[in-house]
Amino acid sequence: MIPVSAFGKTGHQSTRVIFGAAALGGMKQDRADKVLETLLEFSINHIDTAAAYGDSELRVGPWMREHRKRFFLATKTGDRTYDKARESLHRSLERLKVDHIDLIQMHNLVEDDEWRTALGPRGALEALVEARDQKLVRFIGVTGHGTRIPAMHQRSLERFPFDAVLFPYNFTMMGIPEYSADAEALIKLCNERGVATQTIKSAARRRWQNDDERKFSWYEPLREGDAIRRAVHFVLSRPGLFLNSSSDTTILRTILEAASEPAAAPSRAEMEADVAHYAMQPLFTGEQERI
């Protein structure tokens, strides 16, 4: 059984693995249905998708007719202005076939000019707060990629009391001293304020070395079961962190099986051995920030 934990101050007890529905973006419905059945098997109760994830919202939508009550449902908008964000949210409601979304998130809010627009007058945040007042959404969050995002999330939390954040967290990223310091400061701030702390890229190996090898996801995941288990436990052994599953569904079951075991923190020696053996690399560095 995958443990649950309070998702910030939302009042929801979310499974500590959240299904990252980017994995459904390029699937036909019949295949997506089989993936979603796996969530029922492992009692996952939290789905995270986005307007930008291809057909993901369309694949999740049919499931919401029958299973809406069992899932905390999150999506994202990448739009920065009031009008565009409002349009995006209403489109997501239609695609997901629901009358409300539990968590709407501003997607990858990292660039300074976009941040000023989104959080400024007639920005995206204004539309999302309005939607919350209209009970179209219950909570508001912010997400991001890259080495700058933990610091940017702290800046965002000083401007507005977001309910959730999402950022990369794995052994290789936390091996970057500046990133680790910013991530630790963000985690501390979230703990103090009751902000749900979601992590991504737990089972990432590295960026694809050859474009011909690229499948399913923009990055190459770990494949070997023991290495995935250690990567998953690296995250889940830390109380309060949620792990969003990989966009490569071929390792979903392995992730869920690992999360079902008691999460004992792997040793530094074990993680360093995996880095060496699998030639693991941080997905984001000062020179590589973009997906």
Task: Please give the pLDDT value at position 228.
Answer: 98
Within 10 A of 249 (CB to CB), how many other CB atoms are there? 22
Among residues 261, 263, 207, 257, which one has the least CA distance to residue 235?
Answer: 263
Task: Please give the pLDDT value at position 212.
Answer: 62
CB 47 within 8 A of CB 19: yes
Architecture of the domain defined by 4-277? Alpha-Beta Barrel (3.20)
H helix intervals, the chain: 29-41, 56-67, 82-96, 112-118, 124-133, 149-159, 177-193, 225-236, 252-259, 268-277
3-class state of residue 264 by DSSP: coil
Q: In tens digits, what is the pLDDT along the chain, a chain of 291 residues?
A: 899 999 999 999 999 999 999 999 999 999 999 999 999 999 999 999 999 999 999 999 999 999 999 999 999 999 999 999 999 999 999 999 999 999 999 999 999 999 999 999 999 999 999 999 999 999 999 999 999 999 999 999 999 999 999 999 999 999 999 999 999 999 999 999 999 999 999 999 999 987 666 666 889 999 999 999 999 999 999 999 999 999 999 999 999 999 999 989 999 999 999 999 999 999 998 767 777
Contacts of 231 (CB under 8 A, 6+ apart): 170, 171, 202, 203, 222, 274
CB 261 within 8 A of CB 229: yes
Burial class (CB in 10 A: 0-12, 13-18, 19+), 188: exposed
How many residues are present in the chain? Answer: 291
Among residues 185, 153, 169, which one has the least CA distance to residue 282?
Answer: 169
Rounded distance between C-alpha atoms, residue 126 and residue 145, angstroms: 23
Task: Please give the pLDDT value at position 1.
Answer: 87
Q: What is the domain partition of the chain in residue ranges?
A: 4-277
Rounded distance between C-alpha atoms, residue 115 and residue 123, angstroms: 9
H helix intervals, 134-218: 149-159, 177-193
- The whole-model pTM stands at 0.96
Among residues 143, 284, 146, which one has the least CA distance to residue 207?
Answer: 284
